[in-house]
Amino acid sequence: MERPAWAPRGIDISVPSVSRIYDYYLGGSHNFDIDREAARKAMEFMPGLPKIMQANRAFLRRAVRFAADEGITQFLDIGSGIPTFGNVHEVAQSASPEARVLYVDNDPVAVAHSEAVLEGNEGADVVAADLRKPQEILASSQFERLIDQNRPVALLLVAILHFVEDEDGPYEAVAQLRDALAPGSLLVVTHASYEGIPLPPERAEGAVDVYKDIRNPLIMRSRDEIARFFEGYDMVEPGLVPMPEWRPDTALEDEDPYAYSGFAGVGRTA
């Protein structure tokens, strides 16, 4: 298999990656045949997957603008993936030039791309680390340089928690991060769920199985299970809702039914 010039040395391009599959769904070019194959296999069961990812990105941009409007200038984006147009640092820094953004991902391709995109941007950086080990993120030199722990932070966990199995402690990780951040910080979450998918669950399960096969199990949680991530936070209106319903920019007239799969919400610590 030909290794593209942009692919970092040492990565295994014969194994699909969640962040590169996501890049493919969004129409990006930083993915390999193996990623496209897995994505297309999942889409055989759930053809609306790209629409779900687009709704996810649109929500992320609205949530970042909301945080900026609330006066928050620090953003910690864990599971940030491969940078695409309208990424967090672009939205945040256009709203507030002094905004600081730290991206965190455990995929070497995502990290290498983020480094390339952020070159020369003093207010943004990336760290190779994993949500399951919050201490590594908090102890990183990049975190120390960019994030002032005495001021509120917007913690972005967008389309990441559903890749953390219960035995790996997702609730504990989120609580640790909450406790490390200043009062008035925001938690921004999207999460996959069988609720809202315009398909019978057994059909949607076919797509979930594709992720299991590539050793990145997709954990579908109920609305109540997703709400538990917000323990210690006050929900911002309109609460935990399908992604298009969270403070839409325009009237929701003909939104694709797939966009309503899963949930999105923002919480604030007292």
CA-wise closest residue to 189 among 221, 166, 156, 153: 156
pLDDT at 85: 77
**146-188 pLDDT, tens digit each:** 999 999 999 999 999 999 999 999 999 999 999 999 999 999 9
Position 14 scores a pLDDT of 87
Cβ atoms within 10 A of the Cβ of 212, count?
11
Report the C-alpha gap between 117 and 60 in whole angstroms.
19
Mean pLDDT of the chain: 94
The runs of H, that is alpha helices, within 27-155 are 33-45, 49-69, 88-95, 108-118, 134-138, 141-146
pLDDT of amino acid 59: 96
Tell me whether the omega of the peptide bond preceding residue 217 falls within 30 degrees of 0, making it cis. Answer: no
- Decide if 117 contacts 81 (C-beta within 8 A): no
Q: Which DSSP state fits 85?
A: T
Phi, psi of 6 (to 5 degrees): -80, -10
Which residues contact residue 269 at a Cβ distance below 8 angstroms, ignoring those fewer than 6 apart?
Answer: 178, 181, 183, 184, 185, 187, 232, 233, 234
Helix or strand run (H / E) with residue 6: none
Rounded-to-integer distance, Cα 167 and Cα 176, Å:
16
- CA 187 – CA 234 distance, rounded (Å): 10
**What totals of helices (H) and strands (E) does the chain contain, helices first?**
10, 7
Which residues are paired to 264 by β-bridges? 190, 241
Q: What CA–CA distance (Å, rounded) separates 231 from 175?
A: 8
Predicted local confidence at residue 4, as pLDDT: 72
Cα–Cα dist 86/100, whole Å: 15
The secondary structure of 197-232, three-state, reads CCCCHHHHHHHHHHHHHCCCCCCCCCHHHHHHHHCC
Which pTM value belongs to this model?
Answer: 0.95
Neighbouring residues of 127: CB distance < 8 A, sequence distance ≥ 6: 102, 103, 104, 111, 137, 140, 142, 143
Question: Which parts of the chain sit beneath pLDDT 50?
Answer: none
Q: Which residues are 128's β-sheet partners? A: 105
Instruction: Find the helix or strand (DSSP H, E) in which 101 lies.
Output: strand 100-105
The domain defined by 18-268 folds into: Rossmann fold (3.40.50)
**Closest by CA position to 242, among listed 43, 79, 58, 64:** 58
Which residue type is seen at 199?
L
